Amino acid sequence: MPNIHLTGFGLLSPELVLGAVSLLVLIMDLVWKERGSSRLGWISIAGLALSSFLLILAFDDSVGDTAFGIVVVDKFGNFFKLFTCGALAVVVAFVMGDQRERKDRIGEYYFLLLGAAMGIFFMVGTNNLLLLVLGLELLSLASYALAGFHKGEKRSAEAAMKYVVFGGFSAGVMVYGISLLYGLTGTLDLQVMAGTAEGVGLTRSLADAVMTSPSTVALAMVMILGGFAFKISVAPFHFWAPDVYEGSPTPVTTFLAVASKAAGFGALLRFLAVLFMSPDVAAAVGAYGLQVGSLIAILAAVTMTLGNLAAVRQESVKRMLAYSSVAHAGYVLVALVAMNGDGLEAAMLYLVAYYLMNLGAFGVLIYFHGQTGKETYESLNGLGRAAPLISVSAVVFLVSLTGLPPTVGFFGKLAVARAALAAQEGAYAWLVLLMLLNSVISLYYYMRVAKHLFLKDSEGQTVRPQPAMATLLAVFAALNIIFLLYAEPLVNWTSASMDLLLLGR
Amino acid sequence: MDSLLKLSESTILTWITFIPLIGMAAILCVPRQNMSLIKGIAGLATFIPLVLATMVYFGDFQTGANGYQLVQSLPWITAGEFQVNYTVGIDGLSLPLVWLTTLLMFIAVPASETVPRLSKAYYALLLMLGCGITGVFISLDYFLFYVFWEVMLLPMYFLIGIWGGPKREYAAIKFFLYTLAGSVLMLIALVAMYLDQGTFSIPEMMAIGKAGAWTGPELLGMSFTTWAFWFLFIAFAIKIPCFPFHTWLPDAHVQAPTPISVILAGILLKLGGYGLIRGCFPIVPDAFRENAYVLGVLGVISIVYGAYVALGQTDFKRMVAYSSVSHMGFVLLGMAALTEWGMNGAALQMFNHGTSSAACFLIVGVIYDRAHHRDLNAFGGVAQPMPRYWALATFGFFASLGLPGMAGVVSEAMTLVGAFQSADTRFQLLVLISCLGVVLTAAYILWALQRVFLGPLNEKYKDYPDINGREVFSLAPLLFLCLVLGIFPFYLLDWMDTSVIELMSLLNPGS
């Protein structure tokens, strides 16, 4: 590939494409005034595809160039940007295939989704905490509006309201934490903070700050982690998730559970990696990083256990999936306790697995909700016979979510277990055991879906065929299996994506 | 030509394993109305592996040769330092079980005729199950072993859950949860051992175990190998199942349709015993030797407790299910004794229980298909309308009881003798106690036979047709094996002996 040297706007071309397409969608919606047309959806998907194409094209050359001194273009960022494009494209496809979705105001729907994607792009593509917060807020604002998109529905309005209140509060906490860090170090740039880059003016590294005022650093860290914890729905900041997930339109729920959560993880991973994990800083703040790791271990243990125990008790499949996504956030955190490159890689691998299985699971929910109009377990009765392809795909997703072979979910769990077991001479073996026992609990409620699909008979369930959705879901199910049997590209991609982050520049 | 022959030799295990999966794919392509074609494919996809396995047994496999044979090894997942291989191969311990698997899978197809609501999905899942089970027996890579181990859970869940008895949903999820709880322990031990020594290859892990080279950290006052041993042991003990991990078994057995019970008792339980001698004991032999007596005690509790509970059952199938707990206890006792006789007996007992318990479940299935209940106390005098069935049932249950001349007695006696020879003299007491189990076994089997077949004829049963050709077809090979291996046990022992000696040298490095 030719070495394309881009600067400034050139480096930002994927973001610019997204911005342009989001505006185009909004304008074309006004121009065409067609309701129920899928043309706007295709434009959005084309925009995301173009953006992904630019990202892939620039992937090998993304070695940490900086646009406007604040946006960093590196492989790690590109990994999450590509992830976002992939997730968003599927969410748009779900909107198009969702029979429950009202097709009026569809332009705004896509506009908000693409806007949220832009927020994610900035969030994961910067070392500057200010831009990180701005990206986060852009994502959040779009998400609030999306959660309440069905403004006539009480449930949806309630979801949006709860989301705004919780989101505003936790963003405030996070910004306060960041301001403390700024006060201590005199910079908002993570690399300057870590001491791996030269700062402007009077700055000092986090290591020095830890020496002089450890309690203030600890307070700042807890507050910042709290802000991230909200975004990735980690206990005790997860209370919003079930209600918001349940109340939002299901494609939006999918977006929140997959893309938004991965974005939160992307930013969190970069934050931890730059500050604590790179070899340059390990000597100075490594020990402090390990304490952060043990805090994360506690969060992980609480999150996955609470999420799973609550999911067992749900009667609505959508709410079950909401709690299950809380539990999965806990699993990703398990990988992070290692506070090293293996942990990062495992977390990223798990997120890819999570993408494949959770998008599939939500897709199945959208499909069946569109058919039956309900989201309870009972409404699934007998659908295994009526819609065998979708139901078998559903079983693949559920098995993958449980973490059983032969699916990619198993590979993700394995990577996480491996990273956490290797950490600290096996000191986190208890956490790995807890994670795996949690996956046994999760089997119970995931299999409950399979039970209602296949084991319960129903009075003549019929299904209107939706070939496009069915094909999409079957492909996802196949990918869930293929990426275990042929996991190499996945592993190579994730390890290539994080190498540079750790080595610094 | 020579190289071609070598190639065909080394891929034969892969064919035996994956032909059922090919059959499953073929079945999925057939329209669901065409049941006779589906059954034909299922029959063929189970018959070819049986033929191939028989060819291996009497042809390709070199009796008395050391090490693993018919090995095929390919790199599978290579990612950084993470290396997983597709390595398969057999020795004298796995070959009989591979053969038994192919036989029981083949028998299960005609035995499925009477399963209610039979459909295309049933046969597809049955074949997938066969692939998973065979795969476990031939795996020489622990990662592969684990994948196959889990692959068979899902078809089993649906086979019990969709085609089972009235409490099928409960039984199916109970089976799934129990087994998964065990396998997560296996997974954690597996990953920890991989991190320690960087290999998933079972022979390499055995060599590391023999050299005592595990270097993992001590946790909570217990050594790394002890942790690994208990995690692996519990994973396999749930499958055997040994007391106190056995409670899933009666439910799964009673609710499963007859052919699935046959597979469950015939081979799935053997996975536990096989797992112990392939994936647990030789890998952490030190920890095994330290805890062998505990295992022996668990084995004896299983023998006596299983037999005692079987005595109290009124459900015919439940009784046979508890008899499995009792009989598999002998396997554990024989292994724990750490003697050559004990190990040979345990390996033989696994095979013999595979044939006799499978036969017993088929026998129960025959009467259930006619009476639609299994209440032992409601039968009586069934021998009169069904004399041939009576004869065959008596044959089968006597094999299970351990009548001299039948297979079961040889292996059970060998395990007891082996346990008596054990260097640990405490085993002598265990042998004495387990003899109580033998007496109880005779009691519950004879009492059950008496209640079903003898006594005054219940009028309801007088018009029952005798056992038919299809049922005899399924039953005959199993009863034949029970008889032949009772008289000529060396048809198996000769195959196993070398591998047992090798295994013992791994477990007892001093001797």
Assigned domain for A441 exists: yes
- Which band of pLDDT confidence, cut at 50, 70 and 90, is reported for residue B11? confident
Half-sphere exposure (Cβ direction) of A207: Cα atoms closer than 13 Å: 16
Q: Is the pLDDT of residue B369 over 90?
A: no
Contact A260, A336 (CB under 8 A): no
**What is chain A's mean pLDDT, rounded?**
86
- Which band of pLDDT confidence, cut at 50, 70 and 90, is reported for residue B371? confident
Assigned domain for A286 exists: yes
H helices of B284-339, where? 285-311, 316-336
Contact A361, A395 (CB under 8 A): no
Contact A169, A237 (CB under 8 A): no
Q: Is the pLDDT of residue B349 over 70?
A: yes
Beta-carbon contacts of residue A309 (< 8 Å; ≥ 6 apart)? A441
* Number of domains comprising chain A: 1
Q: Which amino acid is at B443?
A: A
Average pLDDT over residues B174-183: 91
Residue A103 confidence (pLDDT)? 63
Between CA B122 and CA B499 the distance in angstroms is 37
Of the listed ranges A108-122, A148-162, B130-144, the one predicted with least confidence: A148-162
Query: Which of B77, B172, B187 lies nearest to residue A417, judging by beta carbons?
Result: B187
If one compares B134 and A58, the residue with the highest pLDDT of the two is B134
Chain B interface, best mutation among A416, A488, A499, by max B CB count within 10 A: A488
Query: Which of A399, A437, A447 lies nearest to residue B184, judging by beta carbons?
Result: A437
Identify which of A112, A120, A377 has the alpha carbon closest to the alpha carbon of residue A249: A112
Assigned domain for A1 exists: no
pLDDT tens, B41-59? 999 999 999 999 988 888 8
Residue B213 confidence (pLDDT)? 83
Half-sphere exposure (Cβ direction) of B377: Cα atoms closer than 13 Å: 4
Average pLDDT over residues A92-102: 79
Identify which of A190, A191, A173, A114 has the alpha carbon closest to the alpha carbon of residue A145: A114
What is the domain range of residue A249? 8-503
pLDDT tens, B63-106? 877 788 888 888 888 776 778 888 888 888 899 999 999 999 99
Contact B159, B118 (CB under 8 A): no
Strand partners for A63: A74
Residue A1 confidence (pLDDT)? 36
Q: ∠ CA B176-B179-B183 to the nearest 5 degrees?
A: 130
Token pair in block for residue A66: 């900086």
Q: What residues of chain A have any CB closer than 8 angstroms to a CB in chain B?
A: 395, 399, 402, 404-406, 410, 414, 417-418, 421-422, 425-426, 429, 432-433, 436-437, 439-440, 443-444, 447, 450-451, 454-455, 487-488, 491-492, 495
Assigned domain for A2 exists: no
Residue B382 confidence (pLDDT)? 83
Average pLDDT over residues A341-366: 91
If one compares B253 and A288, the residue with the highest pLDDT of the two is B253
**What is chain B's mean pLDDT, rounded?**
87
Residue B5 confidence (pLDDT)? 40
Q: Is A365 exposed, middle or buried (0-12, 13-18, 19+ CB in 10 A)?
A: buried
Nearest C-alpha in A relative to B147: A405
Q: Is the pLDDT of residue A502 over 70?
A: no
Q: What residues of chain B have any CB closer than 8 angstroms to a CB in chain A?
A: 77-80, 82, 146-147, 150-151, 153-154, 157-158, 161-162, 168-169, 172-173, 176-177, 180-181, 184-185, 187-188, 191-192, 194-195, 216-217, 219
- Which band of pLDDT confidence, cut at 50, 70 and 90, is reported for residue B9? low
CA distances from B400 to B165, B393, B403 (A): 25, 11, 8
How many helices (H) and strands (E) would you count in chain A?
A: 21, 2
Q: Is the pLDDT of residue B510 over 70?
A: no
Between CA B127 and CA B113 the distance in angstroms is 15
The size of the A-B interface in CB pairs under 8 A is 88
Between CA B140 and CA B94 the distance in angstroms is 11
- Which band of pLDDT confidence, cut at 50, 70 and 90, is reported for residue A68? confident
Residue A505 confidence (pLDDT)? 41
Assigned domain for A3 exists: no
Beta-carbon contacts of residue A442 (< 8 Å; ≥ 6 apart)? A308, A311, A324, A327, A401, A402, A403
Beta-carbon contacts of residue B125 (< 8 Å; ≥ 6 apart)? B155, B158, B159
Strand partners for B141: B201
Instruction: Dump the DSSP string for B385-441.
Output: T-HHHHHHHHHHHHHHHT-TTSHHHHHHHHHHHHHHH-SSTHHHHHHHHHHHHHHHH
Of the listed ranges A433-437, B69-73, B86-90, B151-155, the one predicted with least confidence: B69-73
pLDDT tens, B104-118? 999 999 888 888 888
φ/ψ of residue B89, rounded to 5: 175, 165
Between CA A252 and CA A146 the distance in angstroms is 6
Q: Is the pLDDT of residue B124 over 70?
A: yes
- Counting residues of chain A whose pLDDT is more than 90, the rounded percentage is 38
Between CA B343 and CA B337 the distance in angstroms is 8
Q: ∠ CA A241-A245-A247 to the nearest 5 degrees?
A: 120
Average pLDDT over residues B404-423: 86
Assigned domain for A40 exists: yes
Strand partners for A128: A189
Q: Is the pLDDT of residue B167 over 50?
A: yes
Assigned domain for A36 exists: yes
Average pLDDT over residues A264-291: 83
pTM, full prediction? 0.90
Task: Outline where DSSP puts E strands in B132-208.
Answer: none
Of the listed ranges A260-264, A501-505, B174-178, B297-301, the one predicted with least confidence: A501-505
The answer to whether the Cβ–Cβ distance between A440 and B168 falls below 8 Å is no
